[in-house]
Amino acid sequence: MSIWITPFTLEEINQRGKGTLSEHLQITFIEKGEDFLTASMPVTAQICQPMGILHGGALCALAETVGSAAGNYCIDQREKFCVGLDINANHLRPVHSGIIYAIAKPFHLGSTTQVWEIKMHSGNPHTLVSIARLTTAVRCLGTIRSKHKS
């Protein structure tokens, strides 16, 4: 059974990230399933530490991007939106080059919070590079609209 409430295509979700950190990091959504969303990000010199290792903050940004995007399609976007509330990541192996793949799957899809597991690997899905847990807050659109009117 599908977890998606708001229908979407990969083209639409990639277009939504134009002009944001997603575009700057070259994050691309590449696959969706009944209960997961996958994105990729190339390892470039601009997102590496001085030692030539992929920066953990870039991995966190990838994890939050794919988890938050997934969360927003598990709700009715005419009424609500999701934003990151907390992220925890463990970086397991150094990465020097290639492409990182991040797969987000839900642990919990509640009415006010969601909890996502994001596994990140560099090509071989059985060799984890990093694993993250993202909690998102589910907010009502009316809340943000009323704050922006003044």
Domain boundaries, the chain: 10-148
For residue range 58-90, what is the model confidence (pLDDT) as tens digits?
A: 999 999 999 999 999 999 999 999 999 999 999
Catalytic residue among 12, 23, 31, 64: 64
Among residues 19, 16, 46, which one has the least CA distance to residue 29? 16
Q: For the whole model, what pTM was predicted?
A: 0.92
Instruction: Please state the rounded mean pLDDT for residues 108-136.
Output: 94
Share of the chain above pLDDT 90, in %: 89
Question: Does the pLDDT value for residue 40 go beyond 60?
Answer: yes
Residue 62 is inside which H or E element, if any? helix 56-72
What is the SS3 assignment for 66?
helix
Higher-scoring residue by pLDDT: 127, 103: 103
Residue 127 DSSP one-character state: S
Residue 64 a catalytic site member: yes
The domain defined by 10-148 folds into Thiol Ester Dehydrase; Chain A (3.10.129)
